[in-house]
Structures are given as structure tokens and as C-alpha cells.
Amino acid sequence: MIKRLVTTICVGALLGTAAHARPNPEVLEIGAAMPSFELPGIDGKTYSQDDFADARVLAILFTCNHCPASVAASDRIEQIHQDYKDRGVALVAVNPNHPDSLRPDELGFSPYNDSFEEMAPFAADLEWTFPYLYDGETQEFARACGTQATPHVFVFDADRKLRYTGRMDDGGRNRGPVEKSYIRDAIDALLEGGEVADPVTRAIGCSTKWHHLAENVAADQKRWEALPVTLEDLDEELAKKIRANESGNVRFINFWATTCGACIVEFPDLVETYRRFQNRNVDFVSITLDPEDRRAAALRFLENQHSSVSPRTKASLEREGRTTGNYIWTGGNPDDLAEAIDPEWTGAMPHTIIVAPGGEILWRFTGKVDPFELRRQLLSALEKH
């Protein structure tokens, strides 16, 4: 039997070292009593173990909003709930992560971070119908269980003794059906009054984001803020090149100006979105329509927003002969800019488009963009390209 579980960290190597020297809590042993909990749910209720006292089997599933393995398993989680809810089985999902402990580049597989506020829209998108609880504030229940990753399953019997812990199934990051479901096998065995054949497996997924990992996030922020910010001229020829998008990346382009209030308000979300997707072949091009005499003001704004080029996408820019993601239109008539990049643009700002490798416009929006919708559209584009 595996006595101590390990996990595979997904979506990029963590950059700090000091925080990672701290050990994870030990996984609850088979046969141990379920730790008590009192946690808020996305439905506005507070739940404890007493709310599930009548269940013959209680399955606690630690999962989250951001992890690609958790997102891929989301439909299978709901199906388990539907298949067993009338058979005396309660399935409860718990988010153990603290949102401050996630770097932006760990968030490129979902529109959402792991905050409590973003759990409800995440679950609504997935049409989840089981309780989804938040433990990210104190992480006491997660530590008591010893959750190592998301998803990580703990199945308790009628006496609330642990009978299975580990991964949900062998689906990994695949969204479809699976051949082997450990959680189903465990539940079936307990409902039949038998023993669980494989009581312990490794939970393979994104490591639990303990609060102390915020140290690494702060260090990553300092590194980002130290990157140079540049603003270069854009003429019609270069604009056509940017639209042709021979970088191999999915590209989102934003037209803005320092005198446009909505542009100023939305810009931090654009930079944040780029940082989230920097590991996933996504780049960002900002084009200001400010006149030449406002070049300095535009550059100051970009510097304040830390609108830099990630080292992880720098090589793709160099393949196009470019060195920046920020441009000021110096090509004269702005109609030429529109014809070069998006002929359907009316001139209203802000205006954002997503361009596939090879130049096809996949999505466009005029006005202050909803960052969650932008990220959904980028995820959709990445699935296709």
C-alpha cells in the first residue's frame, strides 16, 4: 500500500524555492475518522458533516476552478453525482486553494481563478448540482485530510471512516469517458458492503495551493514588473503583418487610447489575461490611436500597466521580426489601419479581436470586454488551433 502520496504539478514549474521547502501535510490514513468541517458553499449556505449524516457513503472531492485536470473531470464529477445521489451517496466538492497563491501563468486553462467569488460562475458554467464548498481561507479541512492535489478524492463509509483516497479516475486532462474510475469502484464496493480493492492511489493533478505559496507569487510579480515596456511605430505594412499572424500563436489585439475611459478601465484585465496564457501559445498586441504628441503619455500608461513581453512568447515575436507588443499608429489615415487588421472595426474603442495563426479573425468585441468572456474565447481558439 502506498503510505505517502505524491503528486504531479501541472501547468509550469513553480519559480520560487523557499516556500516549496515546507512539507505538505500527510494524507489521512485508511481507517481514520473523517475530520469535521464547517465551510461556506456557493449557494450561500454553510455546510458541515452533519448535513450529510444520512448518507451511506460520503465522497469528498477536493477540486478547484483553475486546474486543467479538474476542469477536464468536471462533467464526470457531475455524472457521478447524478448516478449515485439516489443510492445513499453524497458527493461534496471542496476548493482547498488560496487564490493569492497562484501565479498568473498557472491560470491558462480556465477563465477563473480559485477565489470563492469565482466558484459560483465556474460551477454555473458546468451546470454542477452538488455542493461546492470553499476551504481556501483557512485550509484547515484540507490540511486535516492531507489533500495533495486537485482533484483528490476521499471516500468515507457510513461510520465516516476513510475507505479510499487518491485520484478520481485515470482520465487525466481528457474530458471524455474513462476506462478506470477509482471513485466509482470505491463507492460500489461500500454500497455492496465489501472492501475497496485499491484503497490508496496517487492523486495526479495540480498541487494544493497553500497560502504560504503567496511568497512565490509576490516574487513572480516583481520579476514581471522589472521587464522592459516599449512602444513602437505601426504603419500599414506592419499592421498587415500583425494581422497575418505567422507567429504560430493565437493572438488577441486591442485598439485603445489614453483618452478613452473604457480603454483605461479594461487594460489591466488584458495584461492579466496575457500573463495567464503566456505558457499556451498566446500573444497580445496593443495598438494605441493616440496622436504622436501623446506618445509619452501612452508609454507612461503602458509602463504603469506593466504591459511587457513575456520571455516565454518573445521567441515567437522574433520570428516575425518584432520586438514589442505595444504599438502607436503612425501610418496616417486610421482607415488604413482598420483595413489592414479588421475591416469590420467601426472606429469605436476599445475594440478587441482574436486572430488565429494564419490570420483568421475568430472573435471580435467593441466596448469594454468581459475578461471572463475573453478568456473563454481564447480557450476555444486554443482548442481549435
Residue 68 CA to residue 10 CA, distance in Å, equals 8
CA distance from start to end of the chain: 42
3-state secondary structure at position 260 = coil
Examine the domain organization and report whether 133 and 268 are in the same domain.
no
Contact predicate 316/247, CB 8 Å: yes
Domain end residue (candidates: 216, 248, 272): 216
**Judgement on whether residues 192 and 270 belong to the same structural domain of the protein:** no
Task: State whether 172 and 234 are in the same domain.
Answer: no
Average pLDDT over all residues of the chain: 93
For the segment 244-261, the average pLDDT, to the nearest whole number, is: 97
- Are residues 151 and 27 both part of a single domain? yes
**Dist CA 374 CA 354 (whole Å):** 9
Tens digit of each residue's pLDDT (9 = 90 or more) over 5-38: 333 334 333 333 344 456 789 999 999 999 999 9
What is the span of the domain harbouring residue 263?
A: 227-384
The reply to whether 96 falls in a domain is yes
Residues 130 and 160 in one domain: yes
Quick one: 238 and 362 in the same domain?
Answer: yes
Chain segment 165-202, per-residue pLDDT in tens: 999 999 988 888 899 999 999 999 999 999 999 999 99
Domain-terminating residue out of 154, 189, 216: 216
Q: Which tens digit of pLDDT belongs to each residue from 307-364?
A: 999 999 988 898 899 999 999 999 999 999 999 999 999 999 999 999 999 999 999 9
Q: pLDDT tens digits, residue range 126-173?
A: 999 999 999 999 999 999 999 999 999 999 999 999 999 999 999 988
The conformation of residue 32, written as its DSSP 8-state character, comes to: P
Q: CA 337: distance to chain centroid?
A: 33
DSSP category for residue 200: B
User: How many domains does the chain divide into?
Assistant: 2
187 and 297 fall within a common domain:
no
Please identify, among 190, 216, 242, the residue that sits at the C-terminal boundary of a domain.
Answer: 216
CATH code (residue 316): 3.40.30.10
* 344 CA to centre of own chain: 31
Which amino acid type is present at position 31?
G
Distance CA 135, CA 114 (A): 11
Query: Are residue 348 and residue 273 in the same domain, yes or no?
Result: yes
* CA gap 63, 153 in Å, rounded: 9
> Which pLDDT tens digit goes with each residue over 17-26?
344 456 789 9
pTM recorded for the entire structure: 0.90
**pLDDT value of residue 12:** 36
Percent of the chain with pLDDT strictly greater than 90 = 91
Residues 248 and 315 in one domain: yes
Total H helices, total E strands in the chain: 12, 15
Q: Which of 78, 3, 20 is nearest to 207 (CA)?
A: 20
- pLDDT of res. 294: 97
Residue positions counted in the chain: 385
75 and 30, same structural domain?
Answer: yes
